[in-house]
Amino acid sequence: LFAGGKDMPDLSAFPKSQQVTFKYHQGVLAFLEENYVAAEQHLTDAWNNCHKDAVRNKERILTYLIPCRLIKDHMLPTEKLLAQYPRLQKLFLPICRCIKRGELHNFDLALQEGEDELVKRRIYLTLERGRDLALRNLLRKVFIARGFEEAKEGEKPARRSRVPVTEFAAAISLGSQERIDNDEVECLLANMIYKNHMKGYISRQHGIVVLSKSGAFPGTGV
Amino acid sequence: AASGGDATQHLWEESWDDDDTSDDFSAQLKEELKKVEASKKR
């Protein structure tokens, strides 16, 4: 596809339908190479130029654009978008819902459920990485659920930023009903902090996580 | 043949929920957290 690229006329010299096809394949190739930045660019180009009635083609583009956006920008398709494409809805909706709600265990189940189809389309491994987002949203829910410190006079109430590891552990095992030990939870938490899904540090001595007072969960408004 | 252009904003959303804690799962979670806190005090 790329070979001889220099000998070819500019892409804009081709009919639009061919441009879209070319961009789609370029996007999928980049996607499979896990170059999600390039993939998103190509697929978005294809999407924007795709004929509005070419439903099957738009469906194909979205098959890769959705996982791409998920990993790169932490964006999910709206339910409205998915509703227009029943096949994609079946494929993505359960997974997206679980991510949004932070239902970690249900996320695992949804991924298992769709495994054959997702592997066939070669998006399984990419979507699997969405587990981090489900976990982030679950941990964030714990943080939100714990509410606020008593406000000092004249100050805005701050969220309670010191969270016992056991509370995160309870949240994680809530879905699966499997007990998970604190070391394993600490490991998950450390990973979250490392990946910048969560800001703060773990105090092993006290068994608590001290979360950042300004933006404990980057990009999520708290 | 342009499509989607204007509608793009409606097609994607951030990957987290708003701070609505009224769904079943949140309620369950709160119960669970209360239990943890209670067991600590004992």
Determine, for residues A142 and B5 on separate chains, whether the beta-carbon distance falls below 8 Å. Answer: no
Q: Chain B residues contacting A, CB < 8 Å?
A: 1-5, 10-17, 19, 21, 23, 25-26, 28-30, 32-33, 35-37, 40
* Cβ-based contacts of A174 with chain B (< 8 Å): 28-29, 32
* Cβ-based contacts of B11 with chain A (< 8 Å): 77-78, 80-81
Determine, for residues B1 and A77 on separate chains, whether the beta-carbon distance falls below 8 Å. Answer: no
pLDDT of residue B3: 42
pLDDT of residue A11: 86
* ipTM confidence: 0.74
Of B11, B17, B28, the CB nearest to A137: B17
Comparing alpha-carbon positions, the chain B residue that sits nearest to A49 is: B2
Pairs across A and B, CB distance < 8 A? 97
Burial of B9 (0-12, 13-18, 19+ CB in 10 A): exposed
Determine, for residues A101 and B25 on separate chains, whether the beta-carbon distance falls below 8 Å. Answer: yes
Identify which of A90, A180, A92, A78 has the alpha carbon closest to the alpha carbon of residue A135: A180
Of B5, B13, B40, the CB nearest to A75: B13
What stretches in chain A show pLDDT beneath 70?
Answer: 1-6
Determine, for residues B12 and A81 on separate chains, whether the beta-carbon distance falls below 8 Å. Answer: yes
pLDDT of residue A56: 95
Of B2, B25, B30, the CB nearest to A48: B2
Q: What is the pLDDT of residues B1-39, one digit of tens each?
A: 334 444 555 789 888 766 666 677 778 888 888 888 787
pLDDT of residue A33: 96
Residue A77 backbone dihedrals phi, psi, to 5 degrees: -70, 145
pLDDT of residue B18: 66
Of A80, A166, A170, the CB nearest to B10: A80
> With an 8 Å Cβ cutoff, is A99 touching chain B?
yes
Helix (H, G, I), strand (E, B) or coil at B23: coil
Determine, for residues B26 and A141 on separate chains, whether the beta-carbon distance falls below 8 Å. Answer: yes
Question: How many CB atoms within 10 Å of residue A128?
Answer: 16
pLDDT of residue A5: 60
Q: Does the reported pTM lie above 0.80?
A: yes
Q: What is the pLDDT of residues A28-59, one digit of tens each?
A: 999 999 999 999 999 999 999 999 999 999 99
pLDDT of residue A132: 96
Q: Is there a contact between A197 and A212 (Cβ–Cβ < 8 Å)?
A: no
Q: What is the pLDDT of residues A65-75, one digit of tens each?
A: 999 999 999 99
Of B16, B21, B37, the CB nearest to A137: B16
**Cβ neighbours for A6, distance < 8 A, ≥ 6 positions apart:** none
CA A214 vs CA A8, A156, A210: distances in Å: 52, 13, 12
* Cβ-based contacts of A77 with chain B (< 8 Å): 11-13
pLDDT of residue B20: 67
